[in-house]
Structure 1
Amino acid sequence: MSLGFKVSGRIAKPVAEVFDAVVNPKKLSAYFTTLGGASAPLVAGTTVTWWKSVPVEVDEVVPSERIVLRWDGPESEPRYKTRIEMTFKPLDDGATFVTIAESGWREDETGRHASYGNCEGWAEMLSCMKAWLEYGINLREGFYPSEMRGELPTSSEDK
């Protein structure tokens, strides 16, 4: 058995715009991967780098519907990867319902601890994406002591 979680949220923008805010590295770097950015677009079969040092394997990209990623689990032996699945559902009011599920942690103390941290991180990502897309606000700017100021766009108007 492995651990997993799911977080979801409504973003008051059309599916195509919300989806693009994840696959487009300039946009993702503006609200989520702000400390080092995203190295390339999310394209199936590629590996991109987030935050200058985190390799993200892109397994599947279905435009405006679904993204499946894998990345390294916590440092333990033997090494393993967790699976991230993002889904984008259009709502009747023109908004988008985004769900991010991550699974595959080992059911041990290290796996539990890592899954809690990632659950927090993905919930933060949804909040940051909502604030950036709907209001042009970068919630992460100044949030971390080592924030890289002036290098990345700080509002959705800069895209």
Structure 2
Amino acid sequence: MAASQPFNKQTAYWGVSWEEAYGYPQARRVGNEIHVSGQFNHDEEGNLVAPAPLNADGKPSDFSSMGEQMRVSYDNISKLLALYGATMQDVVEETLYVLDMDAAFAVVGKVRKAAYGTERPQCASNIIGVSRLAQRPQLIEIVCKAVIGARDI
């Protein structure tokens, strides 16, 4: 299932189970702003892509899939923005929540530059280390805000 706007043009959904369980849209447009909920490493069917292996305590034991998870997260953001006619160049602020800061810093520059299509992405960026994310094999989640037309300014 692709990202869609089944209820109105202001909100977007993937149609995955956790939207109903938690009760939220993946993105919401307010005026020219698009607020994107935390995106992570799932495909359009809700399956995790490059999930981290878990140890006996149910915690990630290997962070080598950080780059692939990050790439998929940015791809998901891009697909949601496209529903509103926006692109990654319209993103003005992002926050990356990561389980391992060293693993994130090892790949974030290359992945971000590819996602934004430029050596100098023009958005404010924050990276925050956290102890747990929604899905146990998840290493990263990205939240952002875009302003339609920001790429033209």
* Fold shared per TM-score above 0.5: no
User: Please, what TM-score do these two structures have when normalized by structure 2?
Assistant: 0.30
User: Please, what TM-score do these two structures have when normalized by structure 1?
Assistant: 0.29
Give the structure with the higher percent strand. 1
